[in-house]
């Protein structure tokens, strides 16, 4: 059973079809980036998982059940939603203490969660004076209070400075890869999550346009290209073609398909050809993303 399962989910608001037949799963121990431009339907999907939106059809399940059916929701799923409101006059610690009491969790969890998000020093301070970044950390502490195995994070990098984004990446990696949690994180900026996601699900105008591993997205359905530079480029191009490569030559660079980096290195060694550059082309991920979502490059 997948930790998160969205199956044929649809939801309209009046004439707007916010989510239109979306299906995907997130497994334990992995991070999935849920990506799409503003208004694509990301938040509606995530709110459906948390029982905050009632779908017109299909299902959104956590650990095989609807959110309302979970016996101990805070211990199964932690969520950070956009525009989380904290009572400004309450301290960070009191926010979490109230949650612990309501969920019958030991209050020590509140201290632990604040320490893990780096807010231990300001635990006794009112949220009123907190920066956006501190509020996001507090929202994450709230999500992890019951030490759940599933995290649903809606644009958690919003309002964070570069150091905060770096910290968030490490934190999500820790949750998934060390604690074995399933993490679903939405963003409209691919670059924000590109370094940490195992899988991507891309939606546009409510419809799923691509899902798979990041590697699959990068290759965009095409054979990977290796860039090779050598002084004897014409001769080496012919050699590579003899070994089954397809070679395009331009400006002294060979773009090779059908052979991987290791095979090319071995051929060069056998032929005693000095390579001055060899790199795997990554493709322009942002460009692929913009094409898939029908957005114009600005
Ligand atoms: N409660 C609502 N009432 C009416 N329309 C809504 C409601 N919630 C969402 N919508 C509409 O549904 C569509 C999808 O919105 P949603 O917030 O799910 O997208 P999103 O991908 O999360 O976008 P963003 O990145 O801007 O948050 C949008 O056209 C939005 O205006």
Same domain, 10 and 150: yes
Which residue has the CA at smallest separation from atom 24 of ligand 1? 38
Tell me how far the alpha carbon of residue 186 lies from the centroid of ligand 1, in angstroms: 13
- Both 239 and 212 in a single domain? no
Q: Rounded to the nearest whole angstrom, what is the distance from the C-alpha of residue 289 to the centroid of ligand 1?
A: 20
**Protein residue closest via CA to atom 2 of ligand 1:** 13
Q: Model ipTM?
A: 0.95
Average pLDDT over residues 275-290: 81
- The answer, yes or no, to whether residue 123 has pLDDT greater than 50, is yes
Q: What confidence score (pLDDT) does residue 284 get?
A: 67
Residues with CB under 6 A from ligand 1: 13, 16, 18, 36, 38-44, 188
Asked whether residue 161 falls in the same domain as residue 250, the answer is: no
Query: Which one has a higher pLDDT value, 283 or 137?
Result: 137
Candidate from 14, 36, 44 with most ligand 1 atoms within 8 A of CB, to mutate: 44
Q: How many other CB atoms are found less than 10 A from the CB of residue 44?
A: 22
Q: For residue 188, how far is its CA from the centre of ligand 1 (angstroms)?
A: 13
Q: How many domains in the chain?
A: 2
Q: Answer yes or no: do 240 and 215 share one domain.
A: no
| In-domain check, residue 287 | no
Protein residue with least CA distance to atom 17, ligand 1: 43
Q: Is residue 174 part of a domain?
A: yes
What atom of ligand 1 comes closest to residue 44's alpha carbon?
18
**Ligand 1 centroid from CA 117, angstroms:** 29
Q: Which of the listed residues 16, 38, 54 should we mutate to test ligand 1's pocket, taking the one with most ligand atoms within 8 A of CB?
A: 16
Of 178, 195, 219, the one marking the end of a domain is 219
> Does residue 296 carry a pLDDT above 60?
no
Judge if 259 and 146 occupy the same domain.
no
**Atom number, ligand 1, closest to the C-alpha of residue 206:** 14
Q: Is residue 192 situated within a structural domain? A: yes
296 alpha carbon – ligand 1 mean position (Å): 20
The domain spanning residue 85 has which CATH number?
A: 3.40.50.300
Q: Do 243 and 271 lie in a common domain?
A: yes
- Distance from residue 156's CA to the centre of ligand 1 (Å): 17
Whether 298 has a pLDDT exceeding 60, the answer reads no
- Cα distances from 238 to residues 6, 120, 122, 247, in angstroms, run 50, 63, 66, 8
Please identify, among 200, 219, 238, the residue that sits at the C-terminal boundary of a domain: 219
In a domain, 147, yes or no: yes
Nearest CA to ligand 1 atom 23: 39
Residue to mutate, 33, 42, 155, ligand 1, most ligand atoms under 8 Å from C-beta: 42
- 234 and 158 inside one domain: no
Task: Tell me whether residue 133 is in a domain.
Answer: yes
Give the residue from 170, 203, 219 where a domain finishes.
Answer: 219
Dist. CA 124 → ligand 1 center (Å): 36
CA-nearest residue for atom 13, ligand 1, is: 18
Split at pLDDT 50, 70, 90, the class of 297 is very low
Same domain, 270 and 249: yes
pTM for the model stands at 0.83
Average pLDDT, the chain: 90
User: What is the CATH classification number for the domain harbouring 244?
Assistant: 3.30.70
Closest ligand 1 atom to Cα of 53: 1
Q: For residues 31 and 136, state if they share a domain.
A: yes
Maximum mean pLDDT: which of 5-14, 96-105, 156-165, 183-192 = 5-14
Task: Name the residue at shortest CA distance from atom 8 of ligand 1.
Answer: 44
User: Residue 127 is part of which domain span?
Assistant: 4-219
pLDDT in tens, 218-277: 776 667 789 999 998 999 999 999 999 999 998 889 999 999 899 999 999 999 999 999
Q: How many whole angstroms from 18 Cα to the centroid of ligand 1?
A: 6
């Amino acid at each position: 059973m997948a930790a998160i399962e969205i199956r044929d989910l649809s939801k309209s608001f009046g004439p707007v079809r916010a989510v239109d037949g979306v299906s995907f799963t997130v497994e334990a121990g992995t991070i999935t980036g849920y990506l799409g431009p503003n208004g694509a339907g990301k938040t509606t999907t995530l709110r459906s998982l948390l029982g905050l939106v009632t779908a017109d059809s299909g299902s959104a399940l956590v650990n095989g059940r609807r959110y309302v059916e979970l016996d101990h929701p805070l211990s199964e799923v932690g969520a950070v939603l956009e525009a989380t409101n904290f009572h400004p006059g309450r301290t960070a610690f009191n926010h979490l203490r109230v949650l612990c009491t309501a969920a019958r969790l030991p209050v020590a969890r509140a201290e632990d969660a604040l320490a893990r998000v780096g807010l231990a020093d300001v635990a006794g301070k009112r949220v009123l004076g907190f920066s956006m970044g501190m509020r996001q950390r507090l929202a994450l502490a709230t999500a992890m209070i019951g030490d759940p195995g599933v995290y649903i994070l809606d644009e958690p990098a919003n309002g964070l400075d570069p150091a905060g984004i770096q910290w968030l990446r490490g934190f999500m990696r820790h949750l998934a890869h060390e604690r074995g949690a399933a993490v679903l994180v939405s963003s409209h900026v691919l670059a924000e999550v590109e370094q940490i996601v195992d899988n991507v699900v891309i939606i546009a105008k409510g419809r799923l346009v691509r899902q798979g591993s990041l590697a699959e997205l990068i290759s965009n359905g095409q054979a990977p290209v290796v860039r090779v530079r050598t002084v004897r480029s014409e001769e080496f191009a012919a050699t590579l073609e003899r070994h089954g490569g397809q070679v395009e030559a331009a400006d002294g660079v060979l773009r090779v398909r059908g052979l991987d980096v290791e095979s090319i290195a071995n051929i060069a060694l056998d032929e005693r050809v000095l390579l001055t550059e060899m790199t795997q082309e990554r493709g322009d991920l942002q460009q692929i993303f913009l094409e898939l979502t029908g957005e114009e490059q600005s």
